Amino acid sequence: MIRVLLAEDQGMMRGALALLLGMEPDIEVVAQVGRGDEIVDAALLSRPDVALLDIELPGRSGLDAAADLRDETPDCRVLILTTFGRPGYLRRAMEAGAVGFLVKDGPVEELAEAVRKALRGETVIDPALAAAALGAGPNPLTARERDALAASVDGATIADIAAGLHLSESTVRNYLSSAIGKTGTRNRMEAVRTARQQGWL
């Protein structure tokens, strides 16, 4: 049996996926979580062969959790399953050690087959998304520019961002200014929006 951990914040979707995967003769869902910060603990307890992770989860993103799983449970293969097929997300998922990236609107048979392929060590990527990611190029933002933009999401002031990131206000301004330039936008809210659309944040 292939042991699967499922991380999805929408309860109905999580339950439906667990039910559908559980109907496969060779797949057993051994753990289900609704938050990103619960993934690693659940994996350490249940020892899944494959982890199916959503990206946008409360507590921690599935992409960050994927990198932790690679370090904490190296035998567990990670598949990203998301509503948002953004090129930047695919690149970040691969960098975090994921072996697959699928969008949620595919048939469950494809998902089950992706789980089997992941266990065999194969890479499984939605073809249209792979083409888009190759065309999009790498993320131009540095880690610190991403941090500053992410901290801007709720309209925080420069002082708030500086305090939260333990940086000076002038350094935060520099990072934001650089991010605005790299995204070709007019202000930090537009930069946040563009970076999110590209999957860079």
Q: What is the pLDDT of residue 118?
A: 93
Q: How confident is the model at residue 154 (pLDDT cuts 50, 70, 90)?
A: confident
User: What is the per-residue burial (b if ≥16 Cβ within 10 Å, else e) of 25-64?
Assistant: eebebbbbbbebebbbebbeebebbbbbbbbebeebbbbb
Q: Which amino acid is at 67?
A: A
Query: pLDDT tens digits for 24-72?
Result: 999 999 999 999 999 999 999 999 999 999 998 999 999 999 999 999 9
Average pLDDT in the 63-88 region?
88
Give the least confident one: 26-35, 60-69, 85-94, 124-133: 124-133
pLDDT confidence of residue 134? 59
Split at pLDDT 50, 70, 90, the class of 137 is: low
DSSP state of 31: E
What are the b/e assignments for 172-194, b being 16+ CB within 10 Å?
Answer: bbebbebbbebbebeebeebbbb
pTM for the structure as a whole: 0.69
